[in-house]
Amino acid sequence: MTTTDASGLPVADLRSIPSARGWPIVGVAPQLLRDPLKLVSAVMREHGELVRLEGLNTYLVADADLVRAIMIDDPQSFSKNPETMKKISPAIGAGLSTLTGAEWSKHRKLANPVFAKRNVSTFMPIFHRSIRETIAEWDASDGQIVDVTAQMKKLTLRIVIRCLFSTDIDAFSHEIMTSLQTLQHYSVYRLWSPLQLPEYVPTPRVRRYKRAKAFMERMVDRIIARRHELGHQGPDDLLSLLMAARDADTGEPLPDEKVRHDIMNMFLAGHETTANAVAFALYLLAGDPAQAERLWREVEPTEDSDLEYEQLLSLSFNSRVFQESLRLYPSSWAMSRVVLQDYRFRGQLLPKGADLLVSQWCLHRNPRYWRDPERFDPDRFLPERLEQVHKFAYIPFGAGGRKCIGVNLAEAEGRMILAMLARRYRFELTSKTSFALVARLFMSAEPGIALRVSRRRPQ
């Protein structure tokens, strides 16, 4: 009998995986560090959906069947790489998104109820108040050019802080944003730079990183300590839920240090991602007045009231615009995994120990899965059309056990911001609308997206 692999092909027919070579020794590492989106797009175009990236012991994965195997079908063969996570957790926290193995699984069980869907609707008043604050600022500068990326980052930071801590720390928002940027830059350097100095060498980069880390830790520690002082009188927010959560086996709460690591993870995972999704949606609408008009017609009747959760869910075109924005501009442009045991896929061998870069950027724009993939077309998310698309060709929030824990919160928040802004303003491209896509841990527009923002109804 012939032995077959996971895809049913005979093991004997082993084929080699194509390779992107780059420079001697360092391979494509310098290009990955300089412009990852350009590199992965070119590599996929030239070599296909499974490619070895020389110099990094890493494989680019953009094949939806293989993604399903990695994320869902074969969890025993793949996981997040503990070694990779160790490189970045000093900067972004050893919390939910960076833990691995049994420690992660215990932690995730404890945190899941904190983010359960039933809690999302309780955040609506925070969304309304925070978005109205942005609206008040924009009304005052009607018709001006606005950096919508920066504005959305400010707004989502305010929202995540209010959801986590029920407090305002606007006075520190600039320092928080720059610290988070520094921590992200430093993580990418630790991940991919072929020339790394040890952390005890006090280069300007290391000094900036240590300052940012110390600032964030001090701030979060102070908030946790204050919450202990308040005891049961503390507000009902994500921090309280996290501090009140108990391990199912031991009944123990999370130690403060772990809570701090989780909070650091959530700051980073939960603010820039949502901000970018909305900023790109506004940009896409600005470039397509017909779709913007369609959205306006859907949301305009709600203009004079705060949108309730159920109402928000019923705005189907608004939802499709948000989905399409995350397809074209996935904030999480790639996810990293490691191969735990030799794995055969369509007659090719992924060797044990290899790192994988599972790229949403490549999946979401691959013409094999999407007709006219570069086109902004929210209707591709109509149920009857989506049915035709491979389920794992669209994974802005990941998939399987490690799927984004904040997905419900992020979708509700992003869609609410989009609806409340789209019903009030018209967005236009201007000669200043010019940006580059920059991919670090997340993908963003740099400099931010500059759009003209004008009231639809005169004041």
**Contact residues for ligand HEM (CB under 6 A)?**
96-97, 108, 160, 265-266, 269-270, 273-274, 277, 331-332, 335, 396-398, 402, 404-406, 409-410, 414
Q: Please say which residue, 91 or 426, places its beta carbon nearer to ligand HEM.
A: 91
Q: Please say which residue, 127 or 317, places its beta carbon nearer to ligand HEM.
A: 127
184-202: b (≥16 Cβ within 10 Å) or e: bbbbbbbbbeeeeeeeeee
My answer on whether omega of the bond before 378 falls inside 30° of 0, hence cis, is no
C-alpha distance from residue 252 to each of 101, 103, 110, 115, 256 (Å): 19, 14, 10, 19, 12
Q: How far is the CB of 90 from ligand HEM (least distance, A)?
A: 17
Q: How far is the CB of 96 from ligand HEM (least distance, A)?
A: 4
Q: In the complex, which residue's CB is closest to ligand HEM?
A: 406
Q: How far is the CB of 82 from ligand HEM (least distance, A)?
A: 13
Q: Please say which residue, 143 or 401, places its beta carbon nearer to ligand HEM.
A: 401
Q: How far is the CB of 59 from ligand HEM (least distance, A)?
A: 15
Q: How far is the CB of 413 from ligand HEM (least distance, A)?
A: 7
Contact by Cβ (8 Å): 332, 97: no
Q: Strands 19-20, 50-53: parallel, antiparallel or unpaired by DSSP?
A: parallel
Q: Please say which residue, 206 or 389, places its beta carbon nearer to ligand HEM.
A: 389
Q: Please say which residue, 265 or 291, places its beta carbon nearer to ligand HEM.
A: 265
Which of helix, strand or coil describes residue 172?
helix
C-alpha distance from residue 357 to each of 90, 132, 354 (Å): 21, 39, 10
Q: Please say which residue, 96 or 453, places its beta carbon nearer to ligand HEM.
A: 96
Contact by Cβ (8 Å): 49, 362: yes
Q: How far is the CB of 384 from ligand HEM (least distance, A)?
A: 25
Residue 135 is encoded by which pair of tokens?
């609206």
55 alpha carbon, distance to own chain's centre: 26
